[in-house]
Amino acid sequence: MTALTQLSQAIHDAPRWHQAEQFQDGNEIRIEAQHDQALGAVVYGLDARKAQSGETIYRLKQALAEHLILIFKHQSLDDLQYLAFASYFGSIFRPGADIPVLASQDDTGTPPDVVPVSNAVGKGDYTGHGELAAHADHQWTPLPSFGSLLYAIELPQDGGQTSWYNTIKAYEALDEATQKHLDQLQLITYNPFVRAKNNKGTTGYGATPLYRFKDQPIVGHAYPHPLVRTHPESGRKGLWLNERSEVELVHYDDQSGSELIASLREHLLKPEFRYEHQWEEGDIVFWDNQATLHSRRPFPSDQRRLLKRISLAGGRPY
Ligand SMILES: O=C(O)CCC(=O)C(=O)O
Ligand SMILES: [Fe+2]
């Protein structure tokens, strides 16, 4: 028989339902909303290595749509177990080789299914140790991932916290006239990894113009998406704009477009829309990429930090 891919192997090896000790009892799971925070719920009592019931997965999906990030505590998984758990929630995000993203490999042009987000050289060193500006993963692609999971394996003593922003609350806080105006706009977010590929040595995040004026060159392909995105499950609207990528409003005046975007970015990053996660080893954070942004604090380069990310495929934003 031919060798299996990592993903097929993961499903092949996943716990069978007749092994009672490997089947999660849904009654053991507690989902606690973070009522004092802008978003998020903590999931206790779930062991992601185990087989999950349909009811449990449905409950988690509903909780994700409502709270936008789910924080699973005390996990201990290998890559195959992690893939088996993540793929309950959708297909693994696998962009084409024509779309560079974080961790796209030189030979295949595509990223691995499990991306090491780390400054530990030799374990994959994607994203380094610097600050990461607030972004939605893969927003610059034709079909951005609907969500991602980050699993904390090794953490620094200082820094490296990740924050998530509730873009639905940010949209709802705008006045009605502004909402109406924004509802009709399309935004192009240019792929920072195209620029990074052209200028080897940059990370892909940051170091790009914040807004493209029409007399400036276009770097990479343009995929216009709505500036105000509707959440597929809840129908709620969110402001889908990141902090630092080069963007452009379609059919809009350069000067007023760049000013509008700058003021919306300032609005989005307000502390009342944000939750900062203080990582503990064994945490998995699963976020809805359709209605959140995330950013990261820097940490000292001589301290190691290793998290593993799995992104799940999504549809065309609307
Ligand atoms: O390192 C982090 O905390 C976040 C990295 C990130 O943006 C990602 O994995 O999508
Ligand atoms: Fe990210």
Q: What is the pLDDT of residues 190-222, one digit of tens each?
A: 998 887 766 654 554 446 799 999 999 888 899
Cβ of residue 138 lying under 6 Å from some atom of ligand 1: no
Number of domains in the chain: 2
* Residue 115 CA to ligand 1 centre (angstroms): 10
- Is there a domain that residue 66 lies in? yes
- Looking at the fold, whether 15 and 149 belong to one and the same domain comes out as yes
Ligand 1 atom at shortest distance from the alpha carbon of 135: 7
- Residue 175's domain is classified under what CATH number? 3.60.130.10
- Is there a domain that residue 119 lies in? yes
- Looking at the fold, whether 119 and 213 belong to one and the same domain comes out as no
Ligand 1 atom at shortest distance from the alpha carbon of 132: 7
* Residue 135 CA to ligand 2 centre (angstroms): 6
DSSP helix/strand/coil, 64: helix
- Looking at the fold, whether 174 and 201 belong to one and the same domain comes out as yes
Mean pLDDT of 257-270: 98
The boundaries of the domain holding residue 223 are 167-268
- Is there a domain that residue 317 lies in? no
Domain end marker among 251, 268, 285: 268
Residue-wise pLDDT tens digits, 38-94: 999 999 999 999 999 999 999 999 999 999 999 999 999 999 999 999 999 999 999
- Confidence at residue 121, expressed as pLDDT on a 0 to 100 scale: 67
Q: Are strands 132-135 and 292-296 parallel, antiparallel or unpaired?
A: antiparallel
- Is there a domain that residue 250 lies in? yes
- Confidence at residue 206, expressed as pLDDT on a 0 to 100 scale: 47
- Looking at the fold, whether 31 and 69 belong to one and the same domain comes out as yes
- Is there a domain that residue 22 lies in? yes
Cβ of residue 103 lying under 6 Å from some atom of ligand 1: no
Which among 188, 163, 189, 185 has a CA at the least distance from the CA of 174? 185
* Residue 79 CA to ligand 2 centre (angstroms): 19
Cβ of residue 127 lying under 6 Å from some atom of ligand 1: yes
pTM, to two decimals: 0.94
- Is there a domain that residue 1 lies in? no
Mean pLDDT of 180-184: 98
- Looking at the fold, whether 128 and 221 belong to one and the same domain comes out as no
* Residue 136 CA to ligand 2 centre (angstroms): 6
Backbone angles phi, psi at 137, to 5 degrees: -60, 140
- Looking at the fold, whether 251 and 286 belong to one and the same domain comes out as no
Higher pLDDT residue, 24 or 17? 24
- Kindly calculate the radius of gyration of the chain based on its CA atoms and give it in whole angstroms: 20
- Looking at the fold, whether 213 and 254 belong to one and the same domain comes out as yes
Task: Round the average pLDDT of the chain to a whole number and report it.
Answer: 93
- Is there a domain that residue 318 lies in? no
- Looking at the fold, whether 195 and 215 belong to one and the same domain comes out as yes
- Looking at the fold, whether 18 and 89 belong to one and the same domain comes out as yes
Q: For a pLDDT cut of 70, what percent of the chain falls above it?
A: 95
Residues 6+ apart with CB under 8 A from 198: 219
- Looking at the fold, whether 22 and 93 belong to one and the same domain comes out as yes
* Residue 296 CA to ligand 1 centre (angstroms): 7
Residue-wise pLDDT tens digits, 88-128: 999 999 998 888 878 878 788 788 999 999 887 666 678 88
- Confidence at residue 118, expressed as pLDDT on a 0 to 100 scale: 86
Residues lying with their CB under 5 A of ligand 2, a single-atom ion: 137
- Looking at the fold, whether 194 and 116 belong to one and the same domain comes out as no
Cβ of residue 309 lying under 6 Å from some atom of ligand 1: yes
- Confidence at residue 234, expressed as pLDDT on a 0 to 100 scale: 96
Cβ of residue 294 lying under 6 Å from some atom of ligand 1: yes
- Looking at the fold, whether 32 and 146 belong to one and the same domain comes out as yes
Beta carbons within 10 angstroms of residue 243's beta carbon: 18
For ligand 1, mutation pick of 114, 132, 243 (most atoms within 8 Å of CB): 132
